[in-house]
Structure 1
Amino acid sequence: MTAVPCPPRFAGTGEVTMDLSVVVPLFNEEESVALLVEKVLAAVRPLGLSHELVIVDDGSTDGTAAVLAPLVREIPELVLVRLRRNYGQTAAMAAGFDASCGKVIVTLDGDLQNDPADIPLLLERLNEGYDLVSGWRHQRQDHALVRLLPSRIANRLIARVTGVRLHDYGCSLKAYRREVVEDLNLYGELHRFLPALAFIEGARISEVIVNHHARRYGTSKYGLDRTFRVLMDLLTVWFMKRFLTRPMHVFGFGGLAAIGFGLLVSLWLLGEKLVLGANIGDRPLLLVALISVLAGVQLFCFGLLAELQMRTYHESQGRPIYRVRETLRGRGAVTGVVG
């Protein structure tokens, strides 16, 4: 079965018109993209599902667009989204999500290291009742020092911070139910934290072991330089998981603690001045007390502003602070509701 036209969701008139969308963001992959399209279609056509293959060209500067142009004319399932410049994998993935029409969305890299033949495995696990299934590259074919070691450290750190125990956060081969994707707003380097963001929204998550191949063409677009950005986004995800709807709990508590500490020190110094007649004007402890009180007031006010900002965020978008999986009514009626 082939794809049918689908209006873009970001235009506000999007429709879910097919069973499966495969989204592939890529950058400068002219040597591999034709084989990639062939392998993906060979994997999904036998499934008997209505499907599409959404290729997002993230501002490639090589001949990727020239290779894809004739393929789009020849292959009815193929959808090409060309970005004006290179925005990065997160933005490219978001563009692919917005252009897709499937009830289920599968993502994978465009360098042929992910194996499209594993897509049925992800769909099978998804049909067991999960909302997101992530691939686990159990036998990675990457450089040990530059890719494997940083990845293992990052996976353990991310799992510990987010509470979502996955072996391989960096694997792009994942399957999502559409309602999960529609709840997510992506920016920065957050594409690798999609399972954690989905978990915040109440998604049920699993993983399956998938194949991983050595890169056949071109060079990797990733390196150690993105470590800092990943760490910053990890802190963002941690804060969202803990305090997204209650920022006052962290800033307000810190502010009150600082104010309390500053007042206690001030009372101590005041006692020394009144009882012992000590000179406290040139003591560093007085400066510490003043700074603590001022910092505490600032933190408390910052928490108050953050609370107002979060209310503006939710109310302006009409986003509830909860997600409903299903509603059970009398006589066994079941109504699926996405909050």
Structure 2
Amino acid sequence: MKTENSIDLSIIIPVYNEEESIPALYNRLKEVMSETAYSFELIFVDDGSKDNSLQVLREIKETSAINIRIVQLNRNFGQHPALNAGFSVAEGKVLITIDADLQIDPRHISDMMDKMKQGYDFVSGIRRGKGDSFLLRRFPSLVLNSMIGSIIGKKLQDYGCPLNAMRSEIAETMREYGEMQRFFKPLAIKLADRIAETEVKYDRRLTGQSKYGFLNLVDLFFDFVTNFSKHLFQRVAMIGFGLSGISFLVEILYLVLRFPFGIIQNPLDRLQAIALIGFVFGVQLLILGILGDFVIKIYRKIDPKPLYIIKKIW
């Protein structure tokens, strides 16, 4: 665990088969950061690339005067585990995450830091532009943003933006949350006190292919639900309790108005049926929520597999 942060920024870049974009990204980062007064380090996390990404990174490190570290994972773990691997070795006061594909210009890092200076703990980008297909990527992302925000309890316009800034203390705290780190941004948002967003220009890819398709987003969401479902099941239980309670009160009110007072003369079979169905359904939701919460607690205790495995650090 770090005892002192002597570097202002740690810029963490997960890399998976990005050999074509890495040189351009490095040059752009060097150009942008040279215009600032921040001390910084670049941390490239090779997430089991199958192309020459690792070799390209090593060549850049050997010839660069910039503080660069390369974290090689022993296989492909995914974007968020790769970021967490980067967090584990970062020495900066503020941690910046950005993708290697240059769809977002690194110059927006300065915008992030302007927000951080205002006392925010986490700053998220809001992508503006036409970087991806609306039907296959952007629309599903909008739906996921809404669902994730509902589960976390904190709304963001763009939970999927790869450009983010957060204080290193949040990353330190995240290590206590096991598998939940697999979704670092929702977890970081949950832990942060003050959150801000800033717009960033989002362009189309110039090289390579996106690692996330529609099915990947669906799979990612179900993994998210598994890890954050404690909150989801709590809400299911609350809905079930409310529905069964309202249905029970409606049935009691009907019986009181019909028999002791005689205000309702004829039997309302449909109302009774709806109230009964609502009560039964509500009880089922309540039981599902309680059991789901219980199962998740067990799952977190018996699932010790590592989030990532670092093979070597250059």
Using structure 1 for the length normalisation, give the TM-score: 0.66
Residue 64, structure 1, aligned to residue 50, structure 2? no
Per-residue deviation, 1:115: 1.0
Asked if structure 2 preserves the Cα contact closer than 8 Å seen for 1:250 and 1:303, the reply is no
Which secondary structure state, in structure 2, belongs to the residue aligned with residue 211 of structure 1? strand
Distance 1:60 1:310 in 2: 31
Distance 2:85 2:72 in 1: 9
Instruction: Summarize the Cα distance change of 1:300–1:173 in structure 2 as closer, same or farther, 3 Å threshold.
Output: closer
Provide the residue aligned with 1:206 in structure 2: 196
Residue 153, structure 1, aligned to residue 147, structure 2? no
Instruction: Summarize the Cα distance change of 1:301–1:24 in structure 2 as closer, same or farther, 3 Å threshold.
Output: closer
Distance 1:202 1:157 in 2: 19
Provide the residue aligned with 1:43 in structure 2: 32
Asked if structure 1 preserves the Cα contact closer than 8 Å seen for 2:179 and 2:227, the reply is no
Per-residue deviation, 1:236: 4.2
Residue 24, structure 1, aligned to residue 13, structure 2? yes
Distance 2:122 2:130 in 1: 21
Per-residue deviation, 1:241: 4.5
Of 97, 116, 138 in structure 1, the residue corresponding to residue 106 of structure 2 is 116
Distance 2:104 2:138 in 1: 16
Q: Which runs of 5+ in 1 are unaligned?
A: 1-8, 262-294, 314-339
Superposition CA RMSD, Å: 3.7
Distance 1:214 1:228 in 2: 22
| Cα-to-partner distance string for 1:7-56 (whole Å, 9 max, x where unaligned) | xx4xxx66422111000001000000011111112212321111101000
Instruction: Summarize the Cα distance change of 1:30–1:159 in structure 2 as closer, same or farther, 3 Å threshold.
Output: same
Per-residue deviation, 1:189: 8.4
Provide the residue aligned with 1:318 in structure 2: none
Higher relative contact order (CA 8 A, sep 6+): 2
Provide the residue aligned with 1:86 in structure 2: 76
Instruction: Summarize the Cα distance change of 1:89–1:187 in structure 2 as closer, same or farther, 3 Å threshold.
Output: farther
Of 45, 54, 62 in structure 2, the residue corresponding to residue 73 of structure 1 is 62
Provide the residue aligned with 1:171 in structure 2: 161
Distance 2:223 2:237 in 1: 18
Distance 1:119 1:21 in 2: 11
| Cα-to-partner distance string for 1:128-160 (whole Å, 9 max, x where unaligned) | 111000000122321222112211222222223
Asked if structure 2 preserves the Cα contact closer than 8 Å seen for 1:200 and 1:241, the reply is no
Q: Give the residue type in structure 2 aligned to 1:81.
A: V
Instruction: Summarize the Cα distance change of 1:300–1:82 in structure 2 as closer, same or farther, 3 Å threshold.
Output: closer
Instruction: Summarize the Cα distance change of 1:67–1:130 in structure 2 as closer, same or farther, 3 Å threshold.
Output: same
Asked if structure 2 preserves the Cα contact closer than 8 Å seen for 1:141 and 1:212, the reply is yes
Instruction: Summarize the Cα distance change of 1:209–1:35 in structure 2 as closer, same or farther, 3 Å threshold.
Output: same
Provide the residue aligned with 2:92 in structure 1: 102
Of 198, 219, 222 in structure 2, the residue corresponding to residue 229 of structure 1 is 219
Distance 2:112 2:87 in 1: 18
| Cα-to-partner distance string for 1:44-69 (whole Å, 9 max, x where unaligned) | 23211111010001011101111111
Instruction: Summarize the Cα distance change of 1:242–1:231 in structure 2 as closer, same or farther, 3 Å threshold.
Output: closer
Greater shift in the superposed pair: 174-183 or 162-171: 162-171
Asked if structure 1 preserves the Cα contact closer than 8 Å seen for 2:189 and 2:195, the reply is yes
Distance 1:188 1:223 in 2: 22
Distance 2:12 2:117 in 1: 19
Instruction: Summarize the Cα distance change of 1:19–1:304 in structure 2 as closer, same or farther, 3 Å threshold.
Output: closer
Asked if structure 2 preserves the Cα contact closer than 8 Å seen for 1:91 and 1:186, the reply is no
| Cα-to-partner distance string for 1:244-269 (whole Å, 9 max, x where unaligned) | xxx8x959x98xx9xxx9xxxxxxxx
Instruction: Summarize the Cα distance change of 1:170–1:302 in structure 2 as closer, same or farther, 3 Å threshold.
Output: closer
Per-residue deviation, 1:91: 1.1
Q: Give the residue type in structure 1 aligned to 2:163.
A: L
Instruction: Summarize the Cα distance change of 1:311–1:250 in structure 2 as closer, same or farther, 3 Å threshold.
Output: farther
Instruction: Summarize the Cα distance change of 1:300–1:235 in structure 2 as closer, same or farther, 3 Å threshold.
Output: closer
Asked if structure 1 preserves the Cα contact closer than 8 Å seen for 2:230 and 2:296, the reply is no
Which secondary structure state, in structure 2, belongs to the residue aligned with residue 210 of structure 1? strand
Q: Give the residue type in structure 1 aligned to 2:133.
A: H
Of 104, 126, 147 in structure 1, the residue corresponding to residue 116 of structure 2 is 126
Q: Give the residue type in structure 2 aligned to 1:35.
A: A
- Give the share of equivalent positions with the same residue, in percent: 34
Asked if structure 2 preserves the Cα contact closer than 8 Å seen for 1:136 and 1:209, the reply is yes
Asked if structure 1 preserves the Cα contact closer than 8 Å seen for 2:14 and 2:44, the reply is yes
Which secondary structure state, in structure 2, belongs to the residue aligned with residue 138 of structure 1? strand
